[in-house]
Amino acid sequence: MGRVPWTPEVFNCNAPDTGNMETIERYGTDAQKAQWLEPLLRGEIRSAFLMTEPEVASSDGTNIRCSITRDGDDYVIDGYKWWSSGAGDPRCKVYIVMGKTDPDAPKHAQQSMILVPADAADVTVYRPLSVFGYDAPHGHMEVTLEQVRVASSNILLRE
């Protein structure tokens, strides 16, 4: 499958969808699975993973600056992401966003992941980022989340 560019999509094992499906299956609620996992498994929608940030060595998740702050029944997300795989696909309907929910917790307990609908207000997808002059299909995108508000039920597993 690795020799033909279109086979990962045909077999529905395209990145980042495969990892996102596994994450939602393992840590999602029944409602999250019904809303996002089932359409992903059927190949009806695509997803994106937003972890990397331009100003920190964010391949180490402990360095992430994006904030996920509880506000009543919602979370408010503020962050600047890039190399956001899948976010440029017009079929992308959900992002898994990694950010800090508790900056005062022990170093490896500060981060959480949350589901953000791709059409949420105050999410801006700017441009694809190229590698050695080449773009991935639908790009690895530069994205900002500015005071993005989602329901507290969108958190994966727990803070």
Structural tokens at position 146: 């500015």
pTM of the model: 0.94
Give 3-state DSSP helix, strand, coil % of the chain, rounded to 5: 25, 40, 40
Mean pLDDT, the chain, rounded, equals 93
Alpha carbon distance 116, 156 (integer Å): 11
In this prediction, residue 5 carries a pLDDT of: 78
Q: Check if the beta carbon of residue 111 is closer than 8 Å to that of residue 98.
A: yes
Residue 144's DSSP bridge partners are: 80, 124
Per the omega criterion (within 30 degrees of 0), is the bond before 5 cis? no
Q: Check if the beta carbon of residue 50 is closer than 8 Å to that of residue 96.
A: yes
Could you tell me how many residues make up the chain? Answer: 159
User: Once rounded to an integer, what is the mean pLDDT over residues 113-138?
Assistant: 87
In the chain the domains, ranked by start, together with CATH numbers, are 46-154 (2.40.110.10)
What confidence tier does 139 reach under pLDDT thresholds 50, 70, 90? confident
List phi, psi (to 5°) of 113.
-120, 145
Q: What is the pLDDT of residues 76-106, one digit of tens each?
A: 999 999 999 999 999 999 999 999 999 999 9
